[in-house]
Amino acid sequence: MDNVFFILSKIAWVLLSPASLIIWLMIFATVVLVFNKKRLALAILVPISIVSFALLAYPIGDILIYPLESRFSKPEPMPEQIDGILILGGGEELKPSISWHSSELGKGGDRYVGATLLSKYYPDVPVIFAGGSGLLAFQDSGREGDIATQLLVTMGIDKTRLIIESQSRNTYENLLLIKPELPKLNGHYVLVTSAFHMPRAVGVARRLNISVIPYPVDYRSNVTELRQWDFNLFEHLEVLEPAWREWVGLTVYYLTGKTSDWLSK
């Protein structure tokens, strides 16, 4: 069932991604126009043009992602004692790493930075990584764990402290598969992942009875006063895509019972 869920989620995103959805609708409108259905074509193209202009001109993604990123904050003060630092995969770039025989950080690379800072603050606890390939057509590469290990060791963490899980393909599997590897089943773990992803990760952890202390990193949004009409489509889509995907993911996870709350707090 988990395999079916994974495949369906990837296929659905091909249709639900904001950029893809606009292109699909434009293609459909073009086909309709070829068959001389001008009214229907206009009914599609006019709102799509308005939405496209808005996405080009203003960082709408900030509005969508901000509620996710502001849901949790770093604990102050930090807890005196924990049983491990749990970092979820997603900060590494799998294909470029394999292509160039290197270990490349991506947009979520702050997850590794955050885990490294915590490893210095808590020098005697294990650093636990959970994350395999989330790519539908690129499974079983066998490199995800190696890349994570190399990155964490390069950033100064002793290899003997690492616990690596590299078979999981999504957030639910991250926590489901790492649970048996945790040093203490009823322990307390600082959870490191992107701020926009933290509500879903916390919800899954609670569903699986894993006690986590959120430590969000990798913020993508700007506060209201720093948002402006700048006509930078690429930067806007870089925020809009993960924001929309996360809201969809939260909803699907809640409806399928993979998370304890729709928007954990």
Q: How far apart are CA 5 and CA 178, in angstroms?
A: 19
What pLDDT, on a 0 to 100 scale, did the predictor assign at position 15? 85
For residue 14, give every residue at least 6 positions away whose Cβ sits within 8 Å of its Cβ, in sequence order, or none.
20
Per-residue pLDDT for the chain (265 aa), expressed as one digit of tens each?
667 777 788 788 888 899 999 999 999 999 999 988 999 999 999 999 999 999 999 999 999 999 999 999 999 999 999 999 999 998 888 888 888 988 889 889 999 999 999 999 999 999 999 998 766 666 655 578 889 999 999 999 999 999 999 999 899 999 999 999 999 989 999 999 999 999 999 999 999 999 999 999 999 999 889 999 999 999 999 999 999 999 999 999 999 999 988 888 7
What pLDDT, on a 0 to 100 scale, did the predictor assign at position 264? 80
Domain ranges of the chain: 2-68+232-255, 74-217
H-helix segments, 156-259: 171-178, 198-207, 233-255
Decide: 55 and 237 in contact? Cβ < 8 Å: yes
Cis peptide before 79 (omega within 30 of 0): no
CATH code 3.40.50.620 for 74-217 = yes
Taken as a whole, the chain contains a residue count of: 265
Please report, as a single letter, which amino acid is at residue 37. K
